[in-house]
């Protein structure tokens, strides 16, 4: 049974996903096999796709590239969702237990610390003008300023406690 006839595909010219009427669950099941334990999408017993520069597996279907995690989700549920999160943050790990449907906000909560971070802690940055740590958190597109802290440990505690409170509500 096909539950959906729409699929969200990444459009390089746009910061979001574009909805297209291309891929269905029945089409995916006809063309591919998906092993939920290993997370491998294959075609005729051979692993499908390639790893892109961002670490995701992409698979060509009908002259369009699709992310393997989206094909896996469609294969297992028949649903096309806007956001799929890799729980362990490993972009090519498409095991069924590692994938979850989520909002963009929930997906952002699971992001790693940015590689340019000087502190190594999300939301805690050194602010040289005040000679202290600036602490902030973003939730549902709203930035929450948590103040300045001279002590790094206090700054981290402020960020973590607010993260737990806000994300518990989300």
Every domain of the chain and the residues it spans: 7-106, 113-169
- Report the distance separating Cα 17 and Cα 19, nearest Å: 7
Q: In CATH, what is the architecture of 7-106?
A: Alpha-Beta Complex (3.90)
pLDDT, tens only, 22-47 = 689 999 999 999 999 999 999 999 99
Decide which of 140 and 47 is more confident. 47
pLDDT at 2 over 50: no
- 113-169 — its CATH code? 3.30.730
CA separation, residue 94 to residues 33, 52, 75 (Å): 13, 14, 12
What CA–CA distances, in Å, run from 76 to 1, 7, 64? Answer: 12, 14, 21
- Give the closest residue to 109 by CA, choosing from 54, 155, 164: 164
Buried b (16+ CB within 10 A) or exposed e, 124-134: beeeeeeebbb
pTM for this prediction: 0.66
Average pLDDT over residues 107-136: 83
């Amino acid at each position: 049974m096909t539950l959906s006839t729409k699929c969200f595909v990444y459009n390089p010219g746009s910061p979001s996903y574009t909805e297209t009427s291309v891929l269905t669950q029945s089409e995916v099941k006809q063309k591919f096999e998906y092993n939920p334990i290993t997370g491998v999408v294959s075609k005729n017993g051979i692993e499908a796709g390639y790893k892109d520069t961002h670490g995701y597996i992409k698979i060509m279907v009908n002259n369009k590239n699709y992310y393997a995690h989206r094909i896996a989700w469609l294969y297992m549920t028949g649903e096309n969702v806007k956001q799929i999160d890799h729980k362990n943050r490993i972009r090519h790990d498409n095991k069924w237990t590692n994938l979850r449907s989520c909002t963009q906000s929930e997906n952002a909560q699971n992001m790693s610390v940015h590689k340019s971070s000087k502190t190594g802690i999300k939301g805690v940055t050194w602010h040289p003008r005040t000679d202290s740590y600036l602490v902030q958190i973003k939730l549902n597109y709203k930035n929450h300023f948590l103040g300045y802290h001279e002590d790094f440990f206090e700054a981290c505690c402020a960020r973590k406690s607010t993260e737990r409170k806000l994300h518990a509500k989300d």
